[in-house]
A and B are shown apart, each in its own frame.
Chain A
């Protein structure tokens, strides 16, 4: 059995750790390129959302490398993601691609069912071994999230372009190479050291919040390296969602911590959107308000074209923007989106934020009205 899975951000690192610890062969699809995207778009339904298409591209590229089993997550709706696997299976079957798909459905309170399925996939490894693998995977997820935060904080302050990118790539390799928790702790020390040694510019950069659908937020190839681009423009980007959040909310019961945060976000969004709409639509609204309250200069809202929850969010965000006095830019992405077009719009948005900031300072306004 050679297991593969769809790429999403740096998800391949913790997953590789999980399977390697259990002694299962993993074939990670090659990094997403234009070729991956057009391969997926060729066989996936035209009006499906971008992640489904890229997934198909991943499967096909991994298949050529010899993978024969796909690990994929499910869902209970109403977002389309919950039915991805069924559609993708049909696409692969019609192409004559011989894949077996193992599905991890989020438990409706049945944690054991998920665990049972995982257990089958692991070749019924001993519980102790699975526990070890799970612990290492989780630790890597957490460290990767931390790495993303550090990178976003440093990139906008780097003196020489590419400095932070270099550290980031090395850090990924260190995390990937760590085979035990001990080695991972060492990697963490090295990463902190490397970031600490960076020479950074003084001053406070413009702060922008990134909200939206999770795949497009996490996968740089899908958002045309938006975070890196903004960082290089000297903008500090903070996101509402990280990789480990996705894992907790999709595969396992929400932890207590996440629930509490979730409730706070829902409460903020309540006056604008009275009900969850699946995916991350409600979070996009709640997080935007949080950024406004914290005095961010602006919010960038992204999602795949035709994404239903984010369309609801996009409809409502202009009202949030007006009432909370924070500029919000909504961008929808698909396989035809050109890098130059998106980058031009981002540049213009950042210019506008800068102009707005200095204008407000000249008037010596006490910051956005709601940031108290």
Chain B
């Protein structure tokens, strides 16, 4: 059986069940890389250009960890997943960047998905992959439909408060948690891209630490898409980065609808869209006097500095609550 490898980085956190179930539906075996660790990080740092952002460097590390165990690497080129918006320039070029900077790779499977252009939609990609892997296109279509249904269910689980990986376990039949405990305590909105928020290695276990402090965490993935869309539509100009929209929309919701006590925005060093989106969110928070902590992740982040800032922020929130 042929093995398809999916790096556990970047859009993995958005689409993994969709991709995995599609390929397994075609009768292929799917493996993903191990959770980020020091070796993976170092592998990325050594091979990616210095100027690129941390998440792309980490992606490189995952590709290296995975490449010798698989027959194909799945690195799609996601240009745009909605009309008049893009993912990010670096992700548009990702398959080419990987192909040209890492040696001895297995063949890449890189369909282009671009909702802005005719002939590059989802179904084209499905048929393209079917032809490439020599499977019946109807079978591929069926596998895709089924995978998409399960992927939506997985997103629904996240909206009920599960982390992507926990939701995956539930999707795969592990017993779910009865109901998320409605603990009373401080509530913090954590903004950022899923590959930053849900990779405990690069964010030094932020979510876990917050929960240990009895803080209820809200993330953009836990919000209904409608809420995010309604806040994004209040912007003076359409934000043309899809991932930035989640951050911007969730940030607006957190501040306006008063359901969290403070916001932590996790950005990665060198992220282009974050440098502007983060600025817009932070300026708004400052204007409105909303507690806001910006944490920038890079490969040199020291745990002590990180923790000190986090604890100081939580203390501030506690004071405010007392008042």
Contact = CB atoms under 8 A, between A and B. Distances in A.
Interface residues on B, range: 35 or more
A306 interface: yes
A79 interface: yes
Interface string B92-121: 110111001100000000101000000000
A312 B96 contact: yes
A312 B237 contact: no
A311 B96 contact: no
B16 interface: no
Interface in A149-184: none
B100 A80 contact: no
A276 B84 CA distance: 15
B49 A315 contact: yes
Contacts of A91: 283
Contact of B280 (A46, A76, A86): A86
Contact of B90 (A82, A274, A308): A308
A87 interface: yes
B241 A78 contact: yes
Given A86-B280, A332-B51, A315 B97 contact: yes
Nearest to A105: B237
A87 B279 contact: yes
A25 B92 CA distance: 43
B171 interface: no
A80 B276 contact: yes
B179 to A, nearest CB: 40
Interface string B40-52: 0000000011011
B276 A48 contact: yes
Contacts of B275: 45-49, 80, 306
B215 interface: no
A278 interface: yes
Contacts of A90: 279-280, 283
Contacts, number: 122
Nearest to B93: A312
A77 B240 contact: yes
B189 to A, nearest CB: 21
B273 interface: yes
A76 B270 CA distance: 21
A316 interface: yes
Interface string B233-271: 001110111000000000000000000000000000111
A77 B95 CA distance: 20
Interface in A302-356: 305-309, 311-312, 314-316, 318-319, 332
Contact of B96 (A77, A80, A87, A272): A272
B200 to A, nearest CB: 24
A319 B93 contact: no
B279 A273 contact: no
B52 A80 contact: no
Contacts of B112: 274-275
Nearest to A312: B93
A87 B235 CA distance: 11
A313 to B, nearest CB: 8
A87 B280 contact: yes
Contacts of A47: 269-271, 274-275
B28 interface: no
B237 A74 contact: yes
A211 to B, nearest CB: 16
A231 B280 CA distance: 42
B206 interface: no
B276 A274 contact: no
B237 A83 contact: yes
B85 interface: yes
Contacts of A51: none
A279 interface: yes
B88 A314 contact: no
A94 interface: yes
Interface string B180-211: 00000000000000000000000000000000
B35 interface: no
A69 B52 CA distance: 36
Which 10 A-B residue pairings sit nearest by Cβ, starting from the closest? A77-B240, A312-B93, A78-B86, A308-B89, A47-B275, A45-B279, A308-B272, A277-B89, A315-B97, A319-B100
